[in-house]
A and B are shown apart, each in its own frame.
Chain A
Amino acid sequence: DGGITQSPKYLFRKEGQNVTLSCEQNLNHDAMYWYRQDPGQGLRLIYYSQIVNDFQKGDIAEGYSVSREKKESFPLTVTSAQKNPTAFYLCASSASGYEQYFGPGTRLTVT
C-alpha cells in the first residue's frame, strides 16, 4: 500500500517545548515538502528537499528545522522559537518536482 504517512494525526504540546512531526513515504519520490496551513488559508511552504542530505528553506522557515537522512523520511521539528506553532502541518512528496502528493496532515496545538 503506497503513500505518504504522517503521525500523529493530533499532537498537543506545551509552549517552550520542541516537537518533531513525522513524514514517511514509500513512493520512491526524490522530493519532499513541508507546508503549514492556518484556518481558512492556503498552504505556505516551510522547507523542501529535492534529494537526500539536502534541503532548502521555504517562505516561512523561521522557527522550524528539518533533516533528510533517508529518502523515505523528512521529519519536521517545530522549535520553541516558532512564535505561533499551532497549525495544520502537511507533508508532500514528488517524483518530478511538479505534481505533489500529500499526506493526511498533523494538527499541532501548542498551549
Chain B
Amino acid sequence: GESVGLHLPTLSVQEGDNSIINCAYSNSASDYFIWYKQESGKGPQFIIDIRSNMDKRQGQRVTVLLNKTVKHLSLQIAATQPGDSAVYFCAENKAGTALIFGKGTTLSVSS
C-alpha cells in the first residue's frame, strides 16, 4: 500500500553538528510533502514543506530536499541544538485531502 517511511528510527548527534533525517515515499503522484517536529506529549509542530515542482527549500536552520527520481525526502538541520531533540515526521499529501505520516525518527542531541 501507499506509505511514507523513514530510514532510521533514531539518530544521535552532537550539539553543533548538522543532522540529516531521511524519508522514503511510495506514491509518485504525491505533490506535497511536509516535515513536523513533535516533542514528548505535545502535538506536531510544522517545520517546513515542499511541493513536487521544487527540489529544495530552505528555512531558518532547516533545508528540505526532494528527489522525485528515487522518491526520497530529507530534512537537514544545521548546527543542531539540544532544543532540536524530538521526533521528526515526514508526511505526504494524499490527493489534496489528508496527509499520510511515516513512523518518525527520534533525534537525540547531546551537548
Listed in ascending order, the chain A residues whose CB lies under 8 Å from chain B are 4, 6, 33, 35, 40-45, 48, 50, 56, 58, 90, 92, 97-105, 107
Chain A residue nearest to B43 in the complex (CB)? A102
Q: Which of A4, A58, A103, A105 contacts B98 (CB 8 A)?
A: A58
Q: Determine chain A's interface SS by DSSP, over half rule.
A: strand
Decide: B103 and A105 in contact? CB cutoff 8 A.
no
Binding site for A on B (CB under 8 A): 32, 34, 36, 41-46, 49, 89, 91, 93, 96-104
How many A-B contacts are there with CB distance less than 8 Å? 55
Main secondary structure of the interface of B (DSSP, over half): strand
Give the shortest distance, in Å, between B88 (CB) and chain A (any CB): 11
Q: How far is the CA of A56 from the CA of B43 in the complex (A)?
A: 22
Given contacts A42-B89, A42-B104, contact A100 B99 (CB under 8 A): yes
The minimal Cβ–Cβ distance linking A94 to chain B, given in whole angstroms, is 9
Q: Which 9 A-B pairs have the closest CB atoms?
A: A102-B43, A42-B101, A43-B101, A42-B103, A102-B44, A105-B43, A98-B32, A97-B96, A104-B43
Q: Which residues of A contact B45 (CB under 8 A)?
A: 102
Closest-CB distance, B86 to chain A (whole angstroms): 13
